[in-house]
Amino acid sequence: MSPNDLVPIARAVEAAETRAAGRLDATALQPNIGALMHDVARLMRRRFERRTRQTGLSITRQQARALLSVARNEGLSQAAVATLLDIEPIALVRLLDRLHEEGLVERRLHPTDRRVRTLWLTPLGWIVVDRILAINAQIREEACAGLNPAAREALLQTLDHLKSNLLMGEESETAAAE
């Protein structure tokens, strides 16, 4: 390839850069709240998985979420827990199968509707939940190091507000689509 062959390529790159500069304001390529939240969640998930492995706890973050949801809501149906976790019921069934095999969760027939299974932690499940909560508390402390209690509370309120806004928007979009 000769230097003359590179001239059209250089001109095309320059033209593209000029067009991009006109379309983007100064903040368009800066980190945004969605990217930062994604990064924080990914880092916390990675740290959780590393800590569980280090402590000999063989559980995924998703399984931990399911266990914590059952712990907070013992006796709920599988469908209700799937809704709380915002996952498809079949995905929850697979998670529960593994947790049941590990002796952490038990399924019981609903007292008035034999088609429905309710979810309960076993004694071993409660021990694992306690370990998960301890790991989560450590990670939360590490993530929030340097934040005073007021800043931590403001962060929680802000994130809860963002979540509420997005959930309301989802409901509006779903209603409009129907």
- Give the lowest-confidence range in 13-17, 35-39, 93-97: 13-17
Tell me, what's the pLDDT at 133?
97
Tell me, what's the pLDDT at 131?
96
For the cut 90, the answer to whether the pLDDT of residue 98 exceeds it is yes
How many Cβ atoms sit within 10 Å of the Cβ of residue 104?
23
pLDDT tier at 26, thresholds 50, 70, 90: low
Q: Which 3 state secondary structure label does DSSP give 11?
A: helix
Query: What is the value of pTM for the model shown?
Result: 0.74
Quote the Cα angle for 98-101-102, to 5°: 90
Sign of the C-alpha dihedral computed for residues 167, 105, 42 and 150 taken in this order: positive
pLDDT digits 0-9 by tens, 58-71: 898 999 999 999 99
Tell me, what's the pLDDT at 115?
87
- Give the lowest-confidence range in 26-40, 57-71, 109-123, 136-150: 26-40
Specify the CATH class of 3-143 in words.
mainly alpha
% pLDDT > 70, the chain: 83
Q: What is d(CA 80, CA 90) in angstroms, rounded to the nearest whole number? A: 13
pLDDT digits 0-9 by tens, 99-130: 999 999 999 988 888 888 999 999 999 999 99
Q: What is the mean pLDDT of the chain?
A: 87
For the cut 80, the answer to whether the pLDDT of residue 174 exceeds it is no
